[in-house]
Amino acid sequence: MGAIFWIVLAVVVVYAITLYNSLVNVKNAVSKAWANIDVLLKQRHEELPKLVDTCKQYMQYEQSTLEKVIQARSRVSEARQSHDMGALGLAEGALRSGLGQLFALAESYPELKANEQFLHLQSRISGLENAIADRREFYNESVNINNVAIEQFPGVLLARMFNFKAFELLKFVATELEDIDIGQRFKA
């Protein structure tokens, strides 16, 4: 009888250790996924002033659009640094909207559209936007795996015991999915 108890206890302990290590693994996968997004956000953060400076040379009458992009860039940076996923989603929506307006307005400036630096920056930022979208999907999948693991039995017992926390999904605002009427946005 005593041997069976020790065997069962050993199995339970090994299972608990395996489960704990699994929870640590999924928690660290979320951190890794966030780090990947953070790198791309930093790269885009560094490229945006160059784009705005290039546009300023040609778009003297579009200061409000340029200012919106810079303000949105600042809000993205603040949300990124504080790891506030809700604020980051809103700031990203504003930044993407501002960039959309900026790129649409560039169509009205043939010299700007022909500027090699502008074309390079536009391509670079568009590429970063696509990479951010891909990494956001990976981040959200990692968050989902973590959140499910800490809510399922028996993982919930260890998660509560060792204070594993749920992470917030990175959601961008629904307006990102809507068509933008650029003409309406620039009417006084």
Averaged confidence pLDDT in the chain: 86
Structural domain boundaries enclosing 138: 16-185
Residue 87 CA to residue 78 CA, distance in Å, equals 9
pLDDT at 183 exceeding the cut of 70: no
Q: Write down the pLDDT at residue 175.
A: 52
Overall domain count for the chain: 1
Quote the tokens at residue 121: 């920056």
Per-residue pLDDT tens for 74-123? 999 999 888 888 889 889 888 988 888 888 888 888 888 788 888 899 89
Percentage of the chain exceeding pLDDT 90? 50
Q: Is residue 10 part of a domain?
A: no
Burial of residue 99 (CB within 10 Å: 0-12, 13-18, 19+) is buried
Please state, as a whole number, how many other Cβ atoms lie within 10 Å of the Cβ of residue 58. Answer: 18
Q: Is residue 8 part of a domain?
A: no
Which residues are CB-contacts of 154 (< 8 A; sequence separation ≥ 6)? 19
Q: Write down the pLDDT at residue 180.
A: 44
Closest CA to 51 of 89, 102, 10: 102
Residue 142 CA to residue 4 CA, distance in Å, equals 39
Q: Is residue 96 part of a domain?
A: yes
Q: Is residue 81 part of a domain?
A: yes
CATH (domain of 92): 1.20.1440.20
Cβ contact 181:156 at 8 Å: no
Q: Is residue 167 part of a domain?
A: yes
Q: Is residue 5 part of a domain?
A: no
For 104, the 3-state DSSP assignment is helix
Q: Is residue 7 part of a domain?
A: no
Per-residue pLDDT tens for 125-164? 999 999 998 999 999 999 999 999 999 999 999 999 999 9
Per-residue pLDDT tens for 2-44? 889 999 999 999 999 999 999 999 999 999 999 999 999 999 9
Closest CA to 107 of 67, 71, 68, 62: 62
Q: Is residue 2 part of a domain?
A: no
